[in-house]
Structure 1
Amino acid sequence: MTPLQRYIAEEIATDHVDGLLSRREAMRRLALLGVGAAAATALIAACGQNRRGADAQTSSSAPAQSAPGTASSPAPGMDTALPTTPISWPGPRGELQGAWAEPTAARGGILVIHENKGLNDWVRSVAGRLAGVGYASLAIDLLSDRGGTATFADPAEATAALGNLAPETMVADLTSGITEVQRRAPGLKTAAVGFCMGGGLIWRLLATGAPELAAAFPFYGPTPENPDFSGSKDVAVLGFYGELDQRVNATKAAAQAALERAGLVHELVTEPGANHAFFNDTGERYDPAAAADAWRRMLDWLTIHVG
């Protein structure tokens, strides 16, 4: 498996271990990703063992955390969110699709990079929320060359299709997305935010070299191996992690070291008691307190470094 495929496979296995997916559904999704039955069984067992070890460590060193809530905890920024409009533009391999939201008087622009579920309503809501506080926002669809995320009736198939894309291909599409944001919001500074897989792609953008960005916000995204961010010296990076997200947190030190070597302005925040995907208010791991804190910090960072 490629590093991206393995990351997605581990996420599926972890979702099963955490009780979010049945074993049958986890095995089905792993098969769509190209993971055979024997390898899938071994992966689930390994993730289960890792989780038991993490739970034992947490219980011996910290008080138990209360479960995050969803229904009575609206996502931050929803009260001022703006609607998004479908758009398309010429990309490096053909037409790219996305959802665009623009305030009356934009303070800056921002590219929004989805999780491994593709461009769905939740990602559109993030673009709308950012537009609602003054930032022209483009949520890109990295499945554009497959007709777009909406063409997949089965979300698991969309995830598998993303897993089969080369990271270099996705980075090229994201670079095109940044250019499109700048074209639609001329003269303004630009940022990028990504979640889960999208957070990992933020790190890859920085490693490729993203001098056109003023700020970047990777949310619980895995750091690629041996990253070099020296080509992104002018980017101010604010990264977020969930305290309970052991899998992604294992790559945090590599990100910290690479940021320091490159001399980038940066801060890496670990939200206490939060898990992976804590910002997604449509998911089971949504943590209202962590999401609100991350939203406040991100807006402060945007004000300072973007406008």
Structure 2
Amino acid sequence: MKALKKEDISQEVFDLYDDYAHNKMDRKEFLQRLSLYAVGAITLPALLSFISPNYVDTIMVQPNDPRLKSEMIDYDSPNGGKKMNGLFSISIDAKEKLPGILVVHENRGLNPYIEDVGRRAALEGFVSLAPDALTPLGGYPGNDDEGRAMQKKRDRNEMLEDFIAGYNYLKSHKDCNGKVGVVGFCFGGWISNMLAVKLPDLGAAVPYYGRQPEKEDAIKIKAPLLLQYASLDKRVNEGWPDFEKVLKENNIEHEAHFYANVNHGFHNNTTPRFDKESADLSWERTIAFFNKHLKE
């Protein structure tokens, strides 16, 4: 059988996977509904395999990349999970203190994709920290299905405190110059928005397809925002008009980009929702934004 391509799959399958990935249904229901799209030469196992993350063949910056020092570290989170782990990455050629980027994962813990993003950020001339909100439960379990189930067990506001503590750790690190921004994806997009609410000295925030804060929180934002949205992501995008209104009324610095004909998760290069053109452009904009607000 020929290999499946994104063009072989209907948009309904991507929407179904999005609902499953965001806990709108359990795995049994997901598989039952997914089976309706397994027709002709497309079998259910082939379809499931195609839409599931592939962490083996997609890593862009390997864990042992000789250009980087990249290692798991511990930090304290007294208002959250107490003791947290995160991937800390810095160029081995760093000669001076660098600005920092906090990298925030999706709703499934610190998986290989987010670790990879942390290393990519370090190669752009930043020191990065990618915390694992699943630390109190034993850490990312090695697959996203279990990771999602584990993350559901944690209180999201406690997890927010864990990322605030990660920000403080990075900001005061000996290799950081004290200027720190945040980039986050999905759940991490919401965290990025909320760090902008909670941290008046945050240097910049780049939420990817993240839920927006409530109006009473949004008016507190001081950090410049670069908001990255997928045009097909109706679930998240429905909150944009109200958020945009608050940002404009309160003169909060922001720019928003909606990438045409792409799904939620388009930056994640481990699943078929990935769109290379939009992912590359959005990352170029992300790094330029951090360079402007953290380096200049």
Q: TM-score, length-normalised on structure 2?
A: 0.75
Structure 1 residues 154 and 286, CA gap change in structure 2 (3 angstroms): closer
Q: Which digits, 9 at most, give the CA deviation of each residue in 1:51-96, with x for residues without a partner?
A: xxxxxxxxxxxxxxxxxxx9xx988888997452111111123210
State the shift of 1:144 in Å: 1.1
> What 5-or-longer segments of structure 2 have no aligned partner?
1-10, 34-53
Q: Which digits, 9 at most, give the CA deviation of each residue in 1:92-139, with x for residues without a partner?
A: 232100000012145410100001121011111101011001010000
Matched residues in 1 for 2:276 and 2:293: separation? 26
Asked whether the 8 Å contact 2:267–2:279 carries over to 1, the reply is yes
Asked whether the 8 Å contact 1:80–1:133 carries over to 2, the reply is no
Taking the TM superposition and a 5 Å limit, the aligned residue runs for 1:88-127 are 88-92=74-78, 93-103=81-91, 104-105=94-95, 106-127=97-118
Asked whether the 8 Å contact 1:229–1:262 carries over to 2, the reply is no
- Matched with 2:209 is 220
Letter in 1 for 2:266: F
Matched residues in 1 for 2:13 and 2:130: separation? 31
Structure 1 residues 111 and 293, CA gap change in structure 2 (3 angstroms): same
Q: Does 1:18 align with 2:1?
A: no
Q: Secondary structure at the match of 2:182?
A: strand
Q: Aligned to 1:238, which of 226, 237, 249?
A: 226
Q: Does 1:286 align with 2:286?
A: no
Asked whether the 8 Å contact 1:77–1:130 carries over to 2, the reply is no
Structure 1 residues 99 and 293, CA gap change in structure 2 (3 angstroms): same
Q: Aligned to 1:188, which of 178, 181, 185?
A: 178
- Matched with 2:195 is 205
> What 5-or-longer segments of structure 1 have no aligned partner?
1-14, 45-69
Q: Secondary structure at the match of 1:264?
A: coil
Structure 1 residues 249 and 194, CA gap change in structure 2 (3 angstroms): same
Identity %: 29
Q: Secondary structure at the match of 2:200?
A: coil
Taking the TM superposition and a 5 Å limit, the aligned residue runs for 1:1-307 are 17-18=13-14, 30-31=25-26, 82=68, 84-92=70-78, 93-103=81-91, 104-105=94-95, 106-149=97-140, 152=141, 154-184=143-173, 185-207=175-197, 209-233=198-222, 235-307=223-295
Matched residues in 2 for 1:29 and 1:222: separation? 16
Structure 1 residues 29 and 218, CA gap change in structure 2 (3 angstroms): closer
Structure 1 residues 29 and 242, CA gap change in structure 2 (3 angstroms): closer
Matched residues in 2 for 1:80 and 1:262: separation? 45
Asked whether the 8 Å contact 1:215–1:236 carries over to 2, the reply is yes
Structure 1 residues 95 and 16, CA gap change in structure 2 (3 angstroms): farther
Structure 1 residues 76 and 220, CA gap change in structure 2 (3 angstroms): farther
Number of residue equivalences = 255
State the shift of 1:306 in Å: 0.6
Q: Secondary structure at the match of 1:302?
A: helix
The root-mean-square deviation of aligned C-alpha atoms, in Å, is 3.4
